[in-house]
Copies of this chain bind each other. A is one copy, B any other.
Amino acid sequence: MSNAYSPLLNELIQALQCLPGVGAKSAQRMAFHLLDRDREGARRLSGTLDSAVRRIRHCDSCRMLTEDAICRFCSSAQRDGSQICVLETPADLLAIESSGAYRGRYFVLMGHLSPIDGIGPSELGLDLLEQRLAEGGVTEVVVATSVTIEGDATAHLIATLARKHGVNASRIAYGVPVGGELEYIDSGTLSRALNGRRQIETPPEEVGL
């Protein structure tokens, strides 16, 4: 269909389709936009993409994407080295970090257990995680994998690994989100919320009233 275009234009439209969620039509729109209205942006994107592919790698300690050998979370003296939060993706790391509620270190699995896709413990870098646990100094592993069968299996495997090294393993709470109304929450989440219920602490003096 696109043989009305010049070979290089066709090549560009083809190359843009390596982006997730971009099909032939969007790629065409992107190509025209870049060539017509934003050649400067296209030039910058080309350069950045090239150096990103050449330089961005996984942190030697936590597997986060970074251009340094050791990422800033692993090298920072401000972070609490006794906690390791285990995540599935770099985007999850950003989410946890934005919450401001965590000051420990991280470990990014870059996926979850999925035997059918050939993703086992070694693809998730669990040998690297085990090495960090064996080095000592870690007292708690906070597992924040997703709430799916694969995420649950991954969490279970990591907890086993932690126990082996005498490290406490916890999992972040899954339940009703803040501001969520019960009638609109799905039953799976509600069942998690009920199972994860906690004792309400009441100070003794209030009980005496």
A-side residues, CB < 8 A to B, are: 1-2, 4-9, 11-12, 14-16, 18-21, 26, 28-36, 38-39, 41-53, 55-56, 65-68, 71-72, 89-91, 93-94, 97-98, 110
Contacts and interface: CB of A to CB of B under 8 A. Distances in A.
Given A6-B65, A19-B30, 19 more contacts: A1-B98, A4-B98, A5-B94, A9-B65, A9-B66, A11-B52, A12-B48, A14-B48, A15-B49, A19-B34, A20-B29, A20-B30, A21-B26, A28-B94, A39-B53, A42-B52, A46-B53, A47-B50, A50-B50
A2 B97 CA distance: 9
Q: Determine chain A's interface SS by DSSP, over half rule.
A: helix
B43 A46 contact: no
Contacts of A68: 6
B53 A93 contact: no
Given A20-B33, A21-B26, A30-B19, A8 B43 contact: no
Contacts of A47: 46, 50
B15 A51 contact: no
A39 B44 CA distance: 18
Contacts of A1: 94, 98
A97 B4 contact: yes
Contacts of A31: 52
